[in-house]
Structure 1
Amino acid sequence: MLRFTKQTYLAFALVILLLASACSSGTDGESVAKPGDAQGESEQATNLTMAFIGIGTFTDIEEVQQAINKITLEKINATVKLVPIDVSAWQQQVNLLLTGSEPLDLLVTSSLFNYSTQVSRGQLIELDELLEQHGQGVIEATDPITFNGTKINGKVYGVSSFREMVADYGFIARKDLLDKHGIDLSQVKSYADLESVFRIIKEKEPGISPIVQRSTTNAVATELLASQFDSLGDGLGVLKMAGESTEVVNLYDTEEYRQAVEQARAWYQAGYIMPDASTTQESNTSLMKANKGFGYFSNMKPGFEEQENSLMGYEMEAVRLTEPVGGSTGPSAFMLSIARNSKTPEKAMQLMNLLYTDADVMNLLVHGLEGKHYVMGDNGQIKPPEGGASGYSFNQWEVGNNSLTYTWEGTNPDQWERIKEFNRSGIYSPALGFSFDASPVKTEIAAVTNVVNQYKAGLESGSLDPGTITEFVDKQKKAGIERIIAEKQKQLDAFLAANQ
């Protein structure tokens, strides 16, 4: 459900500088003096460190941090050092932090990034007692299905951020071209109904591809299948969302997969999908902005059209073709945890509690400084300052209670309530909360992943003949897919038994 871009070596240098600064300024649990009370006594403020995935712009992070610390000093007698780490270096750098002695209190964790392994290694602190003592605001702000969806063996090691936990799926396209050719997307009731739409664009808009892919990993068949299966984290062994079965199956050996690949192939041969779809490095955003694309398949949420309008440079219109569904890792995709390195876990929990209860702290973290990174509009929503915002941007889906934050002009003022209702309306996987520990089959996963990388983009973009699926599956079996599925089934059965 979530998308982001990658950048690498500069982030490593930034992390080293930040951690060096943290050590020299007492972020390893040392204290700094806070002004005394009327009797002249003085308290010692605790310095905390919070690491998160550094997707955004952080030139002004020190100023934002200072503003946050004015509040946290007053409310919990603590300061926080914000440490962004580039996504491409995230797993390596967090592993170094968790296995070393560097100061680390709060950090973003994810079922996409070895969460269950971190728990099994004792690198994350169990939070249940700390939540009861210092995190009641966290509990009250988190929907029970989301709160329980991150537990491992019935214990809490991470708290999910507030964001959409489910997604509906469909197709989104340029409204100017829809209007120009009299296309009414409200009449589209299935993926098959899009055939006539694509045909019109192909015939009447030369040079514009009816379908552009979001990326080679989000190919056409991938999107057609997304609502039908729970990936169980890595997609190597999945659950069918329909029905009551909890049998783990090989996605690539299902009839649903073959049908989706055949549909993609038919659209590719008809010229509706770009010829280089399996190899292009251009994103749907760049293709749309360059007037090379009509639309694309995607997961969606309330406010999705408004979000895409600003990204694509065109007014966009969407048709949703599935009910909202949520997989096993929805709540655990982005969480906040307390590292074993923390010397003051009670203070770390108090800071976490502020991220779920204090609107001032969350707006600073998410939006930066008013007047510099945003300005308040007349309707209570925010907008970029004159000349545009620069110096600070933060991907807010990572941490905290985002429903406390301002919404941007151009989005629905009731966006957060819409997200809450959207989450409540979703159909959730029976494996909700399951997090696969891949360590017992890591060799097989590496081998099968290599096979998947050889075939997946070509098959799912339509550029490879569906007859290749048989060869694809045979190579997966030789690489160990059946051992992966057996291990995942074993862990899932244990999880389900423990959570009846």
Structure 2
Amino acid sequence: MSKKNTAAASLLLATAVALSACGGNNDGNNAAPSGSSAASGNPAPSGSGSAAPSGKMEEITVTFPMISTVIPQMPAIEAAINKISQAKINTTVKLKAISSGEWVQQTNLMFTSNETMDLMYVSGGLYSSMVAKNQLVALDDLLGQYGDGIKSSVGDDYINVPKIKGAVYAVPSVRDLASSYGVIMRKDLVEKYNIDVNAIKTLDDFGAALKAVKAGEQGFAPLVPPGVNMSFLDGFMTYDNLGDSLGVLPNYDNGLKVVDLYETPEYKELVTKFRQWYQDGYILKDASTNKTSTFELLRSGKGFAYFAALKPGMAEQEGKAAGTEVVAKELTPVIARTGTVTGAMWGIPVNSKHRESAMKFLNLMYSDKDIVNLLDWGIEGEHYAKVDGKDGVIKYPDGVDAASTTYNMPLGWMFGNQFLSYTMEGGDADIWNKMDAFNKSAQHSKAMGFAFDATPVKTEFAAVSNVVTQYKLPLETGSVDPDKVLPEFIAKLKSAGIDKIVAEKQKQLDEWAKANPAP
């Protein structure tokens, strides 16, 4: 896999696993339905059956998704990891990669057949259903005994965000735990048209940049979608979507009053602006049906800019994936919400017979730099070499490059604590300090930690989701007239039951707020 495709591969993997929730109603951790141990407030025992006889070596299986599961160097990586884990925690590991496209099916089969899994990646989109099905162990006691490295690296602000009914069943990886929203623009066109990036502070400012590029590049639509089957509002949010956007919290607060996004004045203002841009020729004509990736559109000269969730290093990451230099400009504050925190996590399956050893190894994934970098980069001297005089900076060994390396695992965001990972020469050596500061600077949604359980309104949820699928992309890419189509959209939402969903979400949010009073 080439270096420029690393970011794209990471995004593809994360998206594939998230989408495999197939109709899930969250981007975080829905509360479990009644009848499960999570809903009753009686978490599954966290230590039962897990204690090892003193001095006995244990082997744990670590299961995670990969786009390609053919990793020839995996046995060598395992052996190197085991030298460390055996000495430190009397445990060896077996790394088990599963194709991301088969992740849900295969892991469900493993649960059903009681196949060994001691530690597993947990996607935020699947988390609540896994807890509801009693597939994950409550981690609170194990974290207290063996998880100091996890707790200190994740931090007090975020370690408890995945709580469901008072118990933590998975811990977030250490990465970007918040996001801001803004725009990514091709650097060559920014320079060609003397666009003052720092002066872009509002959508109208951005519109002026689009106008300049449109005027100079004949037959060219500068604004493209942030992804296939994505609208502009998928890359630009000013509200907490509370997991699914069917009932949102404007400005991440709104006095904890849930509203129907599509009836708000702000939504109408945005889709009206997009419609004007579309009519002015700023937007790709087939934006609502486009099947070409954003990176390919930029790479082939068919686009200038797109909306995106931002973080430190985003311009470098996107530029490598697109094959052209880009610049990023924030338009919103940095915000943390349930979905940004729970997007990538780790948990201990109920199948585990070695729960204490699993937690001890998980703690190493958050605290041991050698283990993190074995997972992220491979073996020193074979897959990478340290750069003299630059602490934490690496390069490929002589005769090896990104295309020829025999170990390329672009999943630093997944494997525990990314802030312990080396950085590749040519990148920003200070990126993890910047990311840490970014996370710590984030404003917190007033509902951070809340997760909606759609079970009481599952019929309405399905019906409303179908309506949204019909109208969202045309409206949010400017492809249709909102004066005509938005009232029709709202009417169909109401007929499908959006008001009942909003009321149920409000009820659950009120209950959550009562149980979790603000400090």
Question: Same fold by TM-score, threshold 0.5 exceeded?
Answer: yes
Matched, 1:484 2:501: yes
Alignment of 1:420-431 (within 5 A): 420-431=436-447
Gapped regions of structure 1 (runs ≥ 5) = 12-28, 33-41
Alignment of 1:444-459 (within 5 A): 444-459=460-475
Change (3 A) 1:84 1:427: same
Change (3 A) 1:301 1:106: same
* Shift, 1:326, TM fit: 1.8
Structure 2 contact 184–308 (Cα < 8 Å) conserved: yes
Deviation string, structure 1 residues 29-48 (Cα, Å, up to 9, x no partner): 9999xxxxxxxxx9542121
2:207 aligns with: 195
Matched, 1:395 2:426: no
Change (3 A) 1:193 1:65: same
Structure 1 contact 31–45 (Cα < 8 Å) conserved: no
In 2: Cα distance, 1:88 partner to 1:253 partner:
36
In 1: Cα distance, 2:260 partner to 2:107 partner:
31
Letter matched to residue 413 of structure 1: A
Letter matched to residue 317 of structure 2: Q
Change (3 A) 1:57 1:312: farther
Letter matched to residue 94 of structure 1: T
In 2: Cα distance, 1:293 partner to 1:309 partner:
13
* Shift, 1:207, TM fit: 4.7
In 2: Cα distance, 1:215 partner to 1:303 partner:
19
* Shift, 1:195, TM fit: 1.9
Structure 1 contact 221–263 (Cα < 8 Å) conserved: no
Matched, 1:127 2:135: no
In 2: Cα distance, 1:300 partner to 1:74 partner:
40
Alignment counterpart, residue 80 of structure 1, candidates 61, 86, 93:
93
TM-score, normalised to structure 1, is 0.87
Structure 1 contact 116–436 (Cα < 8 Å) conserved: no
* Shift, 1:58, TM fit: 4.5
1:414 aligns with: 430
Change (3 A) 1:324 1:134: same
The 3-state SS of whatever aligns with 1:398 is coil
Change (3 A) 1:269 1:109: same
Change (3 A) 1:493 1:436: same
The 3-state SS of whatever aligns with 2:450 is coil
In 1: Cα distance, 2:109 partner to 2:273 partner:
45
Alignment counterpart, residue 311 of structure 1, candidates 321, 333, 356:
321
Alignment counterpart, residue 245 of structure 1, candidates 230, 244, 255:
255
Structure 2 contact 69–99 (Cα < 8 Å) conserved: no
Change (3 A) 1:494 1:384: farther
Structure 2 contact 369–420 (Cα < 8 Å) conserved: yes
Structure 2 contact 62–119 (Cα < 8 Å) conserved: yes
The 3-state SS of whatever aligns with 2:131 is helix
Structure 2 contact 184–307 (Cα < 8 Å) conserved: yes
In 2: Cα distance, 1:383 partner to 1:207 partner:
42
Deviation string, structure 1 residues 85-107 (Cα, Å, up to 9, x no partner): 33333333333333431111111
Structure 2 contact 226–235 (Cα < 8 Å) conserved: no
In 2: Cα distance, 1:43 partner to 1:496 partner:
46
In 1: Cα distance, 2:257 partner to 2:113 partner:
39
* Shift, 1:267, TM fit: 0.9
Alignment counterpart, residue 51 of structure 1, candidates 63, 85, 89:
63
Deviation string, structure 1 residues 93-129 (Cα, Å, up to 9, x no partner): 333333431111111223322x223223322111111
- Judge which range, 235-244 or 318-327, deviates more: 235-244
Matched, 1:256 2:266: yes
* Shift, 1:463, TM fit: 0.7
TM-score, normalised to structure 2, is 0.84
* Shift, 1:361, TM fit: 0.6
Structure 1 contact 64–368 (Cα < 8 Å) conserved: yes
1:38 aligns with: none
In 2: Cα distance, 1:100 partner to 1:469 partner:
49
* Shift, 1:279, TM fit: 0.8
Alignment counterpart, residue 143 of structure 1, candidates 146, 155, 161:
155
2:515 aligns with: 498
* Shift, 1:179, TM fit: 1.4
Structure 1 contact 264–462 (Cα < 8 Å) conserved: yes
